[in-house]
Structure 1
C-alpha cells in the first residue's frame, strides 16, 4: 500500500506548493473511516482510494482532486457524512466527494431507458465540475486492474460496461492512454482467447523479423539528424484490442494487417513538425488516403498531431504521429492537461481544451422535455465517431463526425438554417441530403422559406444536435396536428351525447383531468393518450353512463354458468350479431371467439373446453371495441372527415395510431367502440364510400389469441388510456 510520504513525494515533483498537511489529514481520515473493510482480494479497502489518488497524481492534478480520490468512498461506504467532510476540509471537496458518490450509484449498464436517464445525470455532474469524472475514471481504471478478484459473472458485467461507456468516454475526454488501457483490460475479460492469440502472433513475428521498432526508430533518427532536426522518437506495438478491432473492421487476418506499429516524433515547434513530415515522405513511400493534419484542424477535445502512414523497412506499413511537446502533453493527458499543475500553479497549456464547454454544449442541445434516449444517442455519437472537416462558402471550418451529411452541416451552422434546408451543393455540385461528407469538401446549403423538418430527416442526420432539433420541430408539428385531430374527436364525442364541445366545456374537462389547458387536453386526445369518452365524462358523467345501460355487459352473453367470468378474444374481437363459441381458460374464465376464428384450430383436440354461447337479443351499448386498418390520402381535412363520419354513425374512436406514413398516404389503426356487427358494417360502408379513403378493413389476427387489448395497443404504438 502506498504511504502518504510516497504520494506526497510524487505530488511535490509538480506542485511544491501543495498543502501537505491537508493531504495527510485526508489520508488518515480515509484510512480510519475504512478501517476493517476488505476488498474482494482480501486487501484492506483503503488500498483502493490510495491507488486512485496515485493515478491522478501521475496526471499532475490539484490537491482538491487528490483529496477527493482519497475520500471518494467514505460518504457511501462508511459512517462519514457530507457535513463532516465539509467541516474537516472545505465545501468544494465535499461537493466533489458527493458528486463521485452519486456517479458510483448510477447503474450505467442497466436497461436502455434507465441507462439513458443515468447518462443524463452523469453529464449534469460533469458540467458542474469535470474533476468528478476524472476521479471516477481513475476509480474504474484501478478496479479493472484488480478485476480478477471479482466473481467471473461480475467481471463480465464490469468489463462490458467499461468497453461500452468508460473507455470511449476517456477517449472523448482526450485521455487516450487511459482509453487504451481500459479497452485492453476489458478485452482480457471479454475475449481472453482472442487477446492471447494476438500476443502469440506478436511474439512469433518478433522472432522472425527481430526488433522492428528498434530498427525503424534508428532509421528515423538517422534521417532527422541528417537534416539537423532535433526530435524524440518513440515506437511501440499497438495494443492487442486495437489490433483485434482493426482485424474485425477490415476483415483481415493478422498476417495481412498493416500498421500494427506506431511511432511518435516529438519536436520543438510547429515548423519542425512539417519539416519532419517532409523528411519522412521523401525517405519512405506515403500510403494514399492515410494522411491527416490535426495541427491545422484540431479535434474537438484539443488533440493536435500530424498523422501519416508510410511503407517502411521491408515494406512494412507503420503509422507516424508528429507533434510538439505541448501537443503531446494534451494527447496523453487530455482533460487532465486542463487541470494539471506545474511548479505549484495551474498549467497553462495553449492546446488544452476546457472539457466543460463540450459537456455544456451537449446539455444545452437538449431541453428538460427531450427524451433521455435522444441525449444518450447524441453522447454516443460524440464519443464513438471520428471527425471530418468541411468548409462553408466563406471558408469557415465546420467540424462534424464521420458519416455526417449536408443536413448535419446545416444544423451545425444554425438550427434555423437546418430547419429551412431544401438542398445542398458539395464542391459546387448539387447532391442529395443523404450524401456522406468527406474531409476538405466545401458545402453550400440551399434554404427555402416555409420549409419544415421532415420525419425522414431522422434517418439522414448523423449528429445528435441535428436529430435533437428535428425531433423538437416534429414534436411541435405533431402537437398542432394532434390538437386539430383532438378537436375533431372531441366535437364528435360531444355531439354523440347531444352536447357541443364549446371552449368553456373543453376548459372544464381539462381542469377535471388536471391538464394545463384545453390545448394540452386536445393534444393528448389527438395523440391517443386519453380517450374521447374520458373527455366527455369529465363534463357530463351522467350522459356517458346513460349510453352504456342498454344491456348489462355482464349479461350480454348467454350460456355461461352463474357468476362465470368471460372476456372477448382479441384475435377476432367478436361483436353482438356474430355466431360465437367459448373456450375455457384457467384464470380467465371463458374467452369468447367468433365461430370462424382461425385461433380455434389449436383447440380442436380439446373439445371439453368448448362452451356453446350466443349473444343476448336486444340493443347492446356501443362498448364493444373493434380494430380497423384504414389507408387515407395525405390531404388537409381528411382526418377530420373520417372522425366526423364515424361520429355521425354513433360510434366513438377510443384510440388511434399512425402505423405508416408516406408522402401521399397514411395508414391508421383505429379502435372504435361499437354496438354490434351491423354497426361495424355501416361504418366500413360509410368510410369505403369516402373518396380520400383508399382502403378500410377489420383488423383480426389469430396470433393475438392469448394477449390483452393493452398488449395489442402496445404492439401498434397505441397508449393505454389513463
Structure 2
C-alpha cells in the first residue's frame, strides 16, 4: 500500500519500513493469534497513517497521542474484532483532531472504515448552547451510525475504556464529568450489549474517579475480609466441587467477589450495611453443554436447599442482550445465601464479550436470536425515539430510560416472549407488541384477570391487550410508562392529535370569519388561496389553519386578505355564529386561571399568540381589557356533549375547631369531586377562611358540591372565586 503524502497530514510522512515502537509490536503480537499476515499489514498501515497525522500531538499525560488509538485497537484485539474495526480504531481521532481528510481514509482503507471513523467522530466543530447539548448531539450521531454498523459502539466503548484508564492526568472537574457520563451512559450500554467485562471495568474506573474516597474504603474492606469468611468460602467451594465431580461432570468452578461499584449501589439502593451486602457467597459453574447446566443445577440443589422463588432460567428465556445462564440461590451452611450461576463455555464467552463474541459481520446476516440481531433491534427502537424527540437532550433522556439493568419477561396469549424494562406496565407491553396496539389500548387481561393500563407487570405473566378503535393516547400516560418506545410513541401521537385539533379549530374560525364578510369558503378562488399561501410561505393550507388556531394569525385578518377586502376595517368582520367547544381540543383551547370557566358558564374566547384560544367567563374581571382588541375576540360556547373535569375555586368560611378541614374535604369527596389544593386565607380564634381548588364536570356538579358543603354545621358560607 502507498504511504500517505506529507500534504495529507499534519506532519512528515511515515515510511512503511521505519521501525515499529514497542506498543505497536505488542498489538501485532495479539493480532497474530487470529488474523492473517496481510490483515496485520493493513492494521500496520493504519498505524503509519495515523502516526503521521498525529505528529507533534501529545496527551495530557505527555505521551505521544498515537499511543491512545493504538491502545483502543488493543482492547478490540482482546475482543478478537475484525481488521476493519481495528483500522478504524487506530484512525478514530484523525478526522476530528488532524487535517487528514475522509477521502484519504476511504481511498486507502475503503468506505466501511471511513464510515466507522465518521461514526465515532464527535461534533466539536458545530456550535451548541452548552457542553451538555454538544455531548448529547454527539451521542445521538453515534447511535445513528451504530444502526448502520454495530462496530461503531464497540470502538466507542473501547475508546472510553482507555480514556478512563488514563483519566488521572485530567483536571478534577473534567474527571468527575467524564466519570459521571461513563456511569450513566457507557457502562449501561456495555451491559445492554452483553459486554460484562468492559461494563465492570468502566463501572470500577468511573466509581474511583467520581467518588475516590468511597471507592478506596470499599476496596480496602474487600481486600481485608475476615479469615472466617475466606475459610467459609473455600469450604463451600470444595463441597460444591466434590458434588459436581461425583456426578461425573467436567466443570470449571469460580468463586465470585462483588465489585466495589456493585457493593456501593446495593448499599445505597437497599439501605444495607457493608457487612449485609458482603454476606453472600457467589460461585460460577461453567460446563460443556446445556444439558449439563441443568444436571449441575440438580447437583447444587441436592447439596444445599434452594431459596424459594430465587431461581431464574435465562437459558430458556435469554435476556434482551443475549445473556444466558441459570441463576439460583441456596441456603448456605453458615446462614448466608449462596448465589450460583451455571452456564456453558460459549455462554460464558458471550456473557463477557456480548455482541463482540463470535463476531459474524462478514457472514452476511444473523439469526433472529443472535446477540447482533438483538442489539440491532434495540438500536432501531432508539432511532424511533430520535425521530420525534424535540432536542438532543430529550433524546438522550429517552436512551437513559431504556438502559435498565433488569428486565421482566412476559408472554403474549400465543406464547411469544417480550422483554421489558423493570417497572414496566400493561401500557409498555401494548406498545412493545405494536404502536397501533398501544395507541388504541383501553385495558388488558393479565393471567386472565381484567386490569387497567397502569398495572405494573411481573416476569412470567401472560398479557392480552384490549383495544378500542376510538381510544387515543392521553398526556397522563407518560406518567406511568417505563420504556422509551412507549414514551416516544405516546409523545408522537399526542403531537399528531394536537395538530389535527389545531387544523380543525382553525378551519372553523376561518369559516366564520369569511361568513362574516359574506364570502363563504367554498366561494374562495383556489388561485387566490394558493397565492396567499405562497406569499406567507406556508407549504400547506393545514399549516395556515394550525397557525390560526394557535393564535399566530388573526382569522379576521386572514379572511380579509383572502377576499382582497383589505380596506375594510377588521372590527366589521364579526362572526355571526359561535364556535362550539367540547373541552377535548388539545393544545389549542386553554382555560383561564383567572376565572376558571366550567361547562354551563357564559364564556368568550381570547386569541393569544402561541396559546390558541384562551377561554374566560363573561364575569371575568379582565373582560373590559379584552374588549380593547376586538380582532382577537372569539365568539365561543359549550357544545352539548362536554367531557372531562374542570378546575374551579371555592372560598369557604368555617368555624375554627379541630377536624373542620377533614369534614369539608369529606363533603366535597362525597359528591365525587377531587380536591387539587387547599390554602388558608384568614385564620383567627373564631373562624377561618379556606380556598379550595376542586374539579367538577359542569355548573350542575358545582352546585351539588356547594349545597353539600353548606349543609355542614361548621360552615358559615361558600362562594365561587
Tell me the TM-score normalised to structure 1 length: 0.73
1:424 maps to what in 2?
444
1:20-59 → structure 2 map (5 Å cutoff): 20-59=40-79
- Contact conserved, 2:280 with 2:336, CA < 8 A, in 1? no
2 CA distance for matches of 1:281 and 1:269? 19
Within 5 A, what are the aligned runs for 1:443-458? 443-458=463-478
Equivalent residues in 2 for 1:441-520, closer than 5 Å: 441-491=461-511, 504=525, 508-520=531-543
Distance of 1:253 and 1:308 partners within structure 2: 23
Report if aligned partners of 2:146, 2:152 keep a CA contact under 8 Å in 1.
Answer: yes
Contact 2:288/2:344, CA 8 A, preserved across alignment = yes
Question: How do 1:351-366 and structure 2 match up within 5 A?
Answer: 352-354=371-373, 357-363=376-382, 365-366=384-385
1:228-243 pair list within 5 angstroms: 228-243=248-263
Following superposition, the deviation at residue 72 of structure 1 comes to 1.4
257-266 or 390-399: which moved more? Answer: 257-266
Distance 1:30 1:535, change over 3 A: same
Q: Aligned residue for 1:191?
A: 211
Match of 2:143 in 1: 123
* Residue in structure 2 matching 1:523, options 513, 521, 546: 546
Residue 331 (str. 1) matches residue 351 (str. 2):
yes
1:305 Cα offset (Å): 0.8
Distance 1:270 1:200 in 2: 38
1:656 counterpart (574, 592, 611): 611
- Alpha-carbon offset, residue 216 of structure 1: 3.3
Instruction: Indicate if the aligned counterparts of 1:532 and 1:653 stay in contact, CA closer than 8 A.
Output: no
Per-residue CA shift, 1:671-710, capped at 9, x if unaligned?
99988587699x999989999898899xxxxxxxxxxxxx
Q: Which residue of 1 aligns with 2:161?
A: 141
Cα RMSD after superposing both structures: 4.1
Name the residue aligned to 1:61: 81
Deviation string, structure 1 residues 179-204 (Cα, Å, up to 9, x no partner): 11111111111111211221232234
What is the rounded CA distance, in whole Å, between the counterparts of 2:268 and 2:567 in structure 1?
Answer: 64
- CA-to-partner distance for each residue in 1:468-487, whole Å, 9 max, x for gaps? 33233322322221112223
Contact 2:413 2:462 survives alignment (8 Å): yes
Measure the CA separation in 1 of the matches of 2:363 and 2:411. 39
- 1-side partners of 2:621 and 2:411: how far apart? 54
Q: How many residues align?
A: 601
- Deviation at 1:151? 0.9
Structure-2 change in CA distance of 1:211 and 1:60 (3 Å): farther
1:345 is displaced (CA, Å) by: 9.1
Does the 8 A contact of 1:107 with 1:115 survive in 2?
A: no
Alignment deviations for residues 321-347 of structure 1 (CA, whole Å, 9 cap, x no partner)? 111111111111112115279xx9999
Contact 1:33 1:80 in 2 (8 A): yes
After superposition, give the CA deviation of every residue in 1:246-293 in whole Å (9 maximum; x if it has no partner).
111111111222565532211100111111111112212323333211
| TM-score where L is the length of structure 2 | 0.74
Alignment of 1:104-183 (within 5 A): 117-183=137-203
Q: What are the within-5 Å matches in structure 2 for residues 28-427 of structure 1? A: 28-102=48-122, 117-210=137-230, 213-257=233-277, 261-339=281-359, 352-354=371-373, 357-363=376-382, 365-366=384-385, 368-372=387-391, 375-427=395-447
Residue ranges of structure 2 left out of the alignment (5+ in a row)? 1-20, 572-590, 650-721
Cα distance in 2 for partners of 1:92, 1:668 equals 65
What SS does structure 1 have at the residue aligned with 2:181?
helix
Structure 1, unaligned runs of 5 or more? 549-625, 660-665, 698-722
Q: Identify which range, 112-121 or 137-146, moves more after superposition.
A: 112-121
Shift of 1:632: 4.8
Which structure exhibits the higher relative contact order, with contacts defined as CA atoms closer than 8 Å and separated by 6 or more residues?
A: 1
